[in-house]
Amino acid sequence: MIDRTPADTAGPGRMAGPAVSDRPEPAPDPSGPALRVDRPVVVPVVGSSQPAGILPDQEPVFGAGSLGGRTGAGRFGDRVLAGLSSGAGAFLVLLIGLVTVFLVIRALPAITSDRSNFLTARTWDVGGDTLDFGVLPLLWVTVLISLVAMALAVPVAIGIALFISQYAPARVARPVAYVIDLLAAIPSIIYGVWGIAVLAPKIQPLADLLSRRAGWFPLFADHNVRGGTIFTGGVVLAVMILPIITAIGRDVFERTPRANIEAAWALGATRWEVIRLAVLPYGRPGLVSGAMLGLGRALGETIAITLILSKVSNTGAFSFSIFNGGETFASKIANNASEFNSPSQTGAYIAAGLVLFVLTFAVNAAARWVVNRRKEFS
């Protein structure tokens, strides 16, 4: 039978609350009255998760000192860290604002003194007292060489990231990832020398083949430029931005929730279907961010492109071909740094830098907009 000992009469060594007697409980008589239980009998077990004296239908009361219920001002270290973090963010925004103000103030006099249309003119004559310049050829070469690099680098980077994170065993994935990451440590000038001295002669037959077979298409028209073409520069830029896109893609693929992958396996999906239905949708925002980060690197690359691209005249018929030479914003400024002799000449090149700044800012804003549309996967 059950012996109910009141909590206030519990002696030394005995647990307060319900207790269990050592005497066996007799079997109920079927012919006797029905056993009525008014409330459940709780038999606590020492060391169990159910505290003594608390019925199952009662909620436990947490005592003081719980971390979840702590309120009030944070500790001194937390306040210092929060202040430093907020200050760093505010300083970065202020720095970008100051750079913008500097570019606008220094470029505005040159833009207003320009005899041609600053955005559509193809000439660049800033040597005399009168300014006659435009940024259309620079804008086209900068965008075209970056798009060529993105078209070559993004598919390869996605394939490498999927191989490392989804296919390769650990003993193979680690060395491959390490070698890919090492590409980011090579200086830009090394890429430039390698591109013009080694890569350009190797890919020239491919450029000649495309010009012969698809020369009717403006992008593949032959312009008799050997080696230092937009196509060569795009291939070199693709190699340079490959580690950035691959590293970010590998990281987001490895963070795919295991439940999503297991659910796809449970439905009978193949490995490619698992990647297409679970891995790629989850990693799409990260891939977009990584691609835009690589695009920003390609837009602003200076030394390698300066060494590779052949200079051509900005006048005459406008060329859309990737087998032509030219200059980007960055290479134009680097090639003519010695001409910064007067405020008007300097202002013309700063105006070109302002366009590059706005272009990079627009690319990053577009990437942020694309990522925010897919917040459910981030």
Distance of CA 88 to the CA centre of its chain: 20
Residue 227 lies in a domain: yes
Residues 6+ apart with CB under 8 A from 370: 285, 288
> Which CATH number does the domain housing residue 172 bear?
1.10.3720.10
Q: What pLDDT sits at residue 374?
A: 61
Residue 183 lies in a domain: yes
Domain that holds residue 165: 113-377
Distance, CA of 307 to CA of 255 (rounded, Å): 39
Is residue 337 classed as helix, strand or coil in its secondary structure? Answer: helix
Q: What pLDDT sits at residue 1?
A: 44
Q: What pLDDT sits at residue 245?
A: 93
Distance of CA 202 to the CA centre of its chain: 33
Residue 95 lies in a domain: no
Model confidence, pTM: 0.74
Distance, CA of 141 to CA of 264 (rounded, Å): 44
Residue 74 lies in a domain: no
From the CA atom positions of the chain, what is the Rg in Å?
35
Q: What secondary structure does DSSP assign to 12-74, as a single string?
A: TTS-SS----SSPPPPPPTTSPPP--SS------TTSSS-TT--TTSPPPP-TT-STT--S--
Q: What pLDDT sits at residue 375?
A: 57
Residue 143 lies in a domain: yes
Running along the chain, 378 residues long, what does each successive block of 10 average in pLDDT? Answer: 46 46 52 50 48 48 46 74 92 93 92 87 81 89 93 94 90 89 90 93 90 86 83 94 92 88 88 89 86 89 90 65 89 84 85 92 83 60
Residue 332 lies in a domain: yes
Nearest of 319, 306, 327, 277 to residue 124 by alpha carbon: 327
Residue 281 lies in a domain: yes
Amino acid at 42: V
Kindly state the DSSP code that residue 342 receives in the 8-state scheme: S
Amino acid at 69: G
Beta-carbon neighbour count of residue 234 at 10 Å?
23
Beta-carbon neighbour count of residue 186 at 10 Å?
13
Residue 23 lies in a domain: no
Q: What pLDDT sits at residue 376?
A: 52
What is the tally of structural domains in the chain?
Answer: 1
Beta bridge partners of 133: 124
CB burial of 121-145 (b: ≥16 within 10 Å; e: otherwise) equals: bbebebeeeebbbbbbbbbbbbbbb
Nearest of 271, 279, 298, 359 to residue 154 by alpha carbon: 298
Whether the CB-CB separation of 40 and 54 falls below 8 Å is answered with no
Q: What pLDDT sits at residue 126?
A: 84
Distance, CA of 302 to CA of 333 (rounded, Å): 9
